[in-house]
Amino acid sequence: MTVTTREQCAALDREDPLRGLRDEFELPKGVIYLDGNSLGARPRSAAARAAQVVTEEWGVGLIRSWNTAGWFQLPQRLGDKIAPLVGAKPGEVVVTDTTSINLFKVLAAALRVQAARDPARKVIVSERSNFPTDLYIAQGLADLLQQGYELRLVDAPEQIGAALGADTAVLMVTEVNYRTGHLLDMRAVTAQAHEKGALAVWDLCHSAGALPIDLHAAGADYAIGCTYKYLNGGPGSPAFVWVAPALREQFWQPLSGWWGHEAPFAMAPGYRPAQGVQRYMCGTQPITSMALVECGLDIFARTDMQALRAKSLALTDLFIALVESRCARHPLTLVTPRDHARRGSQVSIEHPQGFAVMAALIERGVIGDYREPRILRFGFTPLYVGFADVWDAVEVLRDVLDGETWKDARFQARSAVT
Amino acid sequence: MTVTTREQCAALDREDPLRGLRDEFELPKGVIYLDGNSLGARPRSAAARAAQVVTEEWGVGLIRSWNTAGWFQLPQRLGDKIAPLVGAKPGEVVVTDTTSINLFKVLAAALRVQAARDPARKVIVSERSNFPTDLYIAQGLADLLQQGYELRLVDAPEQIGAALGADTAVLMVTEVNYRTGHLLDMRAVTAQAHEKGALAVWDLCHSAGALPIDLHAAGADYAIGCTYKYLNGGPGSPAFVWVAPALREQFWQPLSGWWGHEAPFAMAPGYRPAQGVQRYMCGTQPITSMALVECGLDIFARTDMQALRAKSLALTDLFIALVESRCARHPLTLVTPRDHARRGSQVSIEHPQGFAVMAALIERGVIGDYREPRILRFGFTPLYVGFADVWDAVEVLRDVLDGETWKDARFQARSAVT
């Protein structure tokens, strides 16, 4: 069906079986929020949960809440709720620290495994367009080790296979590219890595909660990801980490803090890693921020990733079609793949004045974000974005472009934008 | 003055110039909270601040709050509020990550500095009774580096000097021992380290907010610390890190995430550390937990560390005197030094059945904690603990010991206790 009216979009919303989930979120009036791929919207339940943690658990329970409010169990309880969203089993995922820190842990672990198998493997293969912090962390680790590790960066996903070789220790890639929205085939790419004897580390930041992931079926070795984007965990909420069972008991990691210890309260001077997922932990976690992650995760329990993926693709299909039909006379270039199998849950579009166009959109209440160079990025969270939202967003985009309002000086000034 | 009645204690409270600060905290009825050295009590303002962050900043501001609500500036703004409490200057402290992670950063940085000066320095000197996570982190780093680094542990503070030598890269110590409450002389111990060419890393977890600290006057090289104990930042709130100005521009650290980058939004594939304190940062921080740290810090702005220290010593003096006079017939052994110059803001007392005694105390509303082996630990936060509280706590302790209620089976079972 070709959609040509807002009424058709409203009808799609009425027929949407996921429509009710939107009521689980608080969204400000006058805003169409297309930046859930950067910071997910707030679950309605988060306000009461925050009050409970601060007033009751901290204020009244005080130190006792480590036991009575389940703070000790929280990282693993949340991990168990993420597990079904990424194709992991209970007890395999833990929520802790940041994505960057968790990447450091699993990279160090992977390099240690490879050093024991074949010390000549000194290369970490990745994409030049990978999320920068991933590359920085690999650089930091290589620099720290001073053992000749190096990063080999490819310029396009199809070059990954050729970059892997007998010298490769680790392939480190992000399933959905933050800038282009390009989706890698996790199973095929992992197979390429394994074929060359490399371990595969997957960053799920832009895919967890956005599309179905099956870490076990893909044969992945390590995965890390973020809870504050599509999982709606709150600003800067802690990240998660998963390690394949086959590698778990040899999962040594250097950030060996008390919470990863086998017996943290024995207060022994020597480190002994805990069994299982707890050994991926390090220091004391930010409980208030972490507790709010559960509000987002509990919404996923009311649906499934297949239904969310179907709606996500329908939303991004519609957005692409409407932009191409209604903004045809403007210099917009689609960056995100049209192929469903290669598309995440965002649409990236290049415009020569992308920064100013996005600033003008945000002023009009259409919140996407801008990424260097020239990219307008629109994220579609199927839990709370509807089809009429897509129509309205494209109408505002058309208006901004037609009216050239983005040429106003106030939209030219750069400031920090995530 | 020898205190022999509760009325004398109540009089001390009435005369206490800091008494008004207690109203800044919410403490549950029926509780005497002597565990602020493990998790500080909740500032009254934290409830409204949490609601603001969750409802307004996250819920309404959404991604825009990184700029409009000052989330980008938060780690440094909080750092600037910690600075005067630890003898640092504005722009020198940043709040980020956990104590364990920050210790990893500064240890790695210190070893790198020393490797350039004298590669033969391979020893990290510390105390066997140091907080275990500090030792674990040093072990993890040494294990990761595979360059022959080793940990040399001494059994008593007075052995530190003799353990330092031409082979020592770093002295890593905690100013106040978590178990004994023993306070090191930061200036003298740092001088011993420098005399032998070692760099001094200070853990301030049990001293920041508890007593005056002057990192500059002491000549310290690196410091890390916690915000959820005496600083009352909330459960697991992020930690802080300080580096001496002379070492700052050579402060390389391996946890090189996006937030430590010179130009994070240029999205360049190569890491370039930011100038100044921002380079100690790594990944995205837990904003809700971090924002609440400010509630605790703002209370410190209403007093000064000298006044707090005077009250802290008066409280611990009184507690020791009352325990010794009123519980004299019980097998209690004072572990914490009597010498003010060697005492932190806690009193640790050994009892052969320490675990059960503490469990019985907690049931009666006197919340301290237990530390292996056999130690009853009582922390005195002068911001909200009063002299009558001390009297009442000792009376409950006496009652528990006299009545042998701790012999009840329900007080024998071990569970996780922080």
Chain A CA closest to residue B263: A416
Nearest Cα of chain B lies from the Cα of A277 at a distance, in angstroms, of 18
Query: What phi, psi does B170 have (nearest 5°)?
Result: -140, 140
Facing B72 at nearest CB: one of A46, A371, A416 = A416
* Amino acid (one-letter) located at B53: V
Q: What is the pLDDT confidence band of residue A418, given thresholds at 50, 70 and 90? A: very low
Structure tokens belonging to residue A283: 């220091």
Nearest Cα of chain A lies from the Cα of B268 at a distance, in angstroms, of 6
Provide the sign of the torsion angle of the four alpha carbons A285, A287, A290, A291, taken in this order: positive
Nearest Cα of chain A lies from the Cα of B145 at a distance, in angstroms, of 6
The tally of CA atoms less than 13 A away on the side-chain side of residue B186 is: 27
Tell me the sheet residues that pair with A401. none
- Residue window 181-220, chain B: list those with CB within 8 Å of chain A: none
Residues in A closer than 8 angstroms to B42, CB to CB, are 54-55, 58-59
Residues in B closer than 8 angstroms to A289, CB to CB, are 286-290
The predicted-structure confidence for B239-294, as pLDDT tens digits, reads as follows 999 999 999 877 789 999 999 999 998 889 999 999 888 999 999 999 999 999 99
**A interface mutation test: which of B135, B144, B240 has the most A CBs within 10 A?**
B144
Facing B265 at nearest CB: one of A143, A257, A417 = A417
Task: Please report the pLDDT score of residue A40 as a whole number.
Answer: 98
**How far is the CA of A364 from the CAs of A39, A229, A397, A398, in angstroms?**
19, 23, 9, 12
A377 is catalytic: yes
Chain B CA closest to residue A259: B133
Residues in B closer than 8 angstroms to A97, CB to CB, are 97-98, 101, 283
Task: Please report the pLDDT score of residue B252 as a whole number.
Answer: 87
Asked if pLDDT for residue B1 goes beyond 80, the answer is: no
Facing A136 at nearest CB: one of B66, B226, B256 = B256
* Amino acid (one-letter) located at A142: A
Residue B253, chain A, CB below 8 Å: the answer is yes
Residue pair B97/A98 in contact by the 8 Å Cβ criterion: yes
B203, B221, B369, B389: which one is catalytic? B203
Task: Please report the pLDDT score of residue B312 as a whole number.
Answer: 98
Structure tokens belonging to residue A196: 């060359």
CA A118 and chain centroid, separation = 32
**A interface mutation test: which of B289, B346, B366 has the most A CBs within 10 A?**
B289
Residue A45, chain B, CB below 8 Å: the answer is no
Facing A108 at nearest CB: one of B38, B144, B415 = B144
Facing A144 at nearest CB: one of B64, B132, B254 = B254
Nearest Cα of chain A lies from the Cα of B240 at a distance, in angstroms, of 13
The predicted-structure confidence for B321-369, as pLDDT tens digits, reads as follows 999 999 999 999 999 999 999 999 999 999 999 999 999 999 999 999 9
A81, A105, A122, A229: which one is catalytic? A229
- For B204, residues 6+ apart whose C-beta sits below 8 A from its C-beta are B86, B174, B175, B213, B223, B224, B225, B226
**B interface mutation test: which of A68, A127, A133 has the most B CBs within 10 A?**
A133
Q: What is the pLDDT confidence band of residue A203, given thresholds at 50, 70 and 90? A: very high
| CA separation for the pair A13, A7 (Å, rounded) | 10
Residue A145, chain B, CB below 8 Å: the answer is yes
| CA separation for the pair A241, A93 (Å, rounded) | 6
Asked if pLDDT for residue A239 goes beyond 60, the answer is: yes
- Residue window 3-32, chain B: list those with CB within 8 Å of chain A: 26, 28, 31
First to last CA, chain A: 36
B131 is catalytic: yes
| CA separation for the pair A378, A362 (Å, rounded) | 11
Q: What is the pLDDT confidence band of residue A415, given thresholds at 50, 70 and 90? A: low
Q: What is the pLDDT confidence band of residue A316, given thresholds at 50, 70 and 90? A: very high
User: How many CB atoms are located within 10 Å of the residue A24 CB?
Assistant: 19
A122, A377, A384, A411: which one is catalytic? A377
Asked if pLDDT for residue B416 goes beyond 70, the answer is: no
Nearest Cα of chain A lies from the Cα of B239 at a distance, in angstroms, of 9
**How far is the CA of B398 from the CAs of B81, B392, B402, in angstroms?**
40, 10, 6
| CA separation for the pair B372, B13 (Å, rounded) | 33
Residues in A closer than 8 angstroms to B31, CB to CB, are 62
pLDDT (average), residues B96-122: 97
**B interface mutation test: which of A113, A134, A284 has the most B CBs within 10 A?**
A284
Subunit contact B287:A284, Cβ cutoff 8 A: no
Residue pair B57/B350 in contact by the 8 Å Cβ criterion: no
The predicted-structure confidence for A358-387, as pLDDT tens digits, reads as follows 999 999 999 999 999 999 999 999 999 999
Subunit contact A50:B46, Cβ cutoff 8 A: no
Residue pair B72/B413 in contact by the 8 Å Cβ criterion: no
A33, A178, A222, A228: which one is catalytic? A228
Asked if pLDDT for residue A185 goes beyond 90, the answer is: yes
H helical segments located in A167-232: 186-195, 215-218
pLDDT (average), residues A20-29: 97
- Residue window 360-399, chain A: list those with CB within 8 Å of chain B: 362, 367, 369, 371-372
Residues in B closer than 8 angstroms to A287, CB to CB, are 234-236, 289
Count of residues making up chain B: 418
Taking CA A324 as the corner, what is the angle to CA A319 and CA A326, rounded to the nearest 5 degrees? Answer: 90
Percentage helix, strand, coil for chain A under 3-state DSSP, each rounded to 5: 45, 15, 40
Strands B333-334 and B240-243, by their bridges, are: unpaired
Least confident of A244-248, A337-341, B187-191: A244-248
Residue A146, chain B, CB below 8 Å: the answer is yes
Facing A139 at nearest CB: one of B46, B228, B256 = B256
- For A339, residues 6+ apart whose C-beta sits below 8 A from its C-beta are none
Task: Please report the pLDDT score of residue A416 as a whole number.
Answer: 47
Facing A58 at nearest CB: one of B60, B234, B372 = B234
Subunit contact B236:A100, Cβ cutoff 8 A: no
Taking CA A407 as the corner, what is the angle to CA A406 and CA A411, rounded to the nearest 5 degrees? Answer: 60
Give me the residue label for tokens 């994220």.
A379
B203 is catalytic: yes
The predicted-structure confidence for A56-84, as pLDDT tens digits, reads as follows 999 999 999 999 999 999 999 999 999 99
- DSSP characters over A303-372: S-HHHHHHHHHHHHHHHHHHHHHHSTTS--EE-S-SSGGGB-SEEEEE-TTHHHHHHHHHHTTEE-EEET
Residue A152, chain B, CB below 8 Å: the answer is no
Nearest Cα of chain B lies from the Cα of A397 at a distance, in angstroms, of 19
Facing B284 at nearest CB: one of A53, A65, A98 = A98
Task: Please report the pLDDT score of residue B250 as a whole number.
Answer: 79
CA A272 and chain centroid, separation = 31
- Residue window 311-330, chain A: list those with CB within 8 Å of chain B: none
Considering chain B, what is the average pLDDT of its residues? 96
Give me the residue label for tokens 């079609």.
A321
Strands B25-26 and B42-43, by their bridges, are: antiparallel
Q: What is the pLDDT confidence band of residue A351, given thresholds at 50, 70 and 90? A: very high
Least confident of A301-315, B1-15, B188-202, B242-256: B242-256
* Amino acid (one-letter) located at B99: T
Structure tokens belonging to residue A344: 């995440």
Nearest Cα of chain B lies from the Cα of A273 at a distance, in angstroms, of 10
Subunit contact A42:B59, Cβ cutoff 8 A: yes
